[in-house]
Structure 1
């Protein structure tokens, strides 16, 4: 897949790939930091550490070509909830 607004792979990064993957050619670096991290329930594969920090080490959602659509969909849902006056996620 070519680098585009939906997909970017930076093989020159010293951390590439930053998560274990069987398909480094499909590893998307676009969301190096996941925009869904601050959602209480992001839909990803994470654990909450004793310190309260969300550990997303095993989550690959933002690093797949399909992750772009998933993340934008979740953000649109959350923005719609905010506009509708839903309580904030803490």
Structure 2
């Protein structure tokens, strides 16, 4: 979590939607990291000793994961500060029950 938590002038619903969107971005970044990691491992097995073209891709993917994670943490901290996290938790619980 960054030291600067910016207070947005958005409704509670908009802030909850922002957390959900940021969490989706985080999941996508994690998936891209996993793909890049597998590509790098495969490249090293097939071409040991050659510079890896996937190393830069993996570095970029790791950076994206970190940024997405920080964004989620900042948004969640904002929800915690005003008690909205409980509403988000209840919404997720209801959605999970509905999908079960």
Smaller-chain TM-score bracket: 0.3 to 0.5
Larger Rg: 2
> Quick check: which one's strand share is greater?
1
Greater helix proportion: 2
Q: Which has the higher contact order (CA 8 A, sep 6+)?
A: 2
| TM-score, normalised via structure 2 length | 0.34
- What TM-score do you get using the length of structure 1 for normalisation? 0.36
